């Protein structure tokens, strides 16, 4: 049974249905984009942040993953509003002394500890 693939134009107005027998081949160059190497670049971690996520250069995405593991293991999310994080002593050093930080603000504060 052939597979049906939907292709959209940039304006997302035109829809073309094509049949392809080999799904591993990209339809166009847009589909074969590689991951952003700048996003995956290992960055140096400050001493304050290293106490939470570990030493060594690591990509920003890995830092955020490890930070969320730390937050969830210690139950630091506000139960009534999960977007807020209640900082313990280690996190206060990373968050600039703030006791409660919004999860969107957290990424901005963490980026100050990466170079």
3-state secondary structure of 31: helix
56 with 102, same domain?
Answer: yes
Residue 54 tokens read as 């570990």
Q: How many CA atoms lie within 13 A of 13 on its CB side?
A: 1
Residue 39 lies in a domain: no
Stretch 89-113: mean pLDDT, rounded? 94
Report the pLDDT averaged over residues 75-96: 95
> Residue 71's domain is classified under what CATH number?
1.10.245.10
Q: Does some domain include residue 41?
A: no
The verdict on residue 40 lying in a domain is no
Nearest one of 98, 95, 96, 101 to 78, comparing CA atoms: 101
Q: Are residues 60 and 107 in the same domain?
A: yes
| Domain that includes residue 23, residue range | 3-32
More confident residue, 15 or 101: 101
What's the structural domain count of the chain? 2
Cα–Cα dist 52/67, whole Å: 7
Other C-beta atoms closer than 10 Å to the C-beta of 106 total 22
* Tens of pLDDT, residues 39-48: 789 999 999 9
**62 lies in some domain:** yes
Its pTM stands at 0.67
């Amino acid at each position: 049974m052939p597979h049906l693939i939907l292709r959209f134009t940039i304006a997302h107005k035109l829809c073309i249905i094509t049949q392809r027998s080999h799904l591993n081949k990209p339809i166009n160059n847009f589909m074969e984009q590689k991951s952003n190497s700048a996003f995956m670049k290992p960055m140096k971690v400050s001493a304050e942040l290293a106490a939470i996520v570990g030493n060594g250069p690591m990509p920003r995405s890995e830092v955020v993953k490890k930070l969320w593991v730390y937050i969830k293991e210690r139950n630091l999310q506000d139960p009534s509003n999960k977007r807020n994080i209640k900082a313990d002593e280690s996190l206060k050093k990373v968050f600039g002394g703030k006791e409660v930080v919004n999860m969107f603000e957290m990424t901005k504060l963490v980026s100050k500890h990466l170079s």
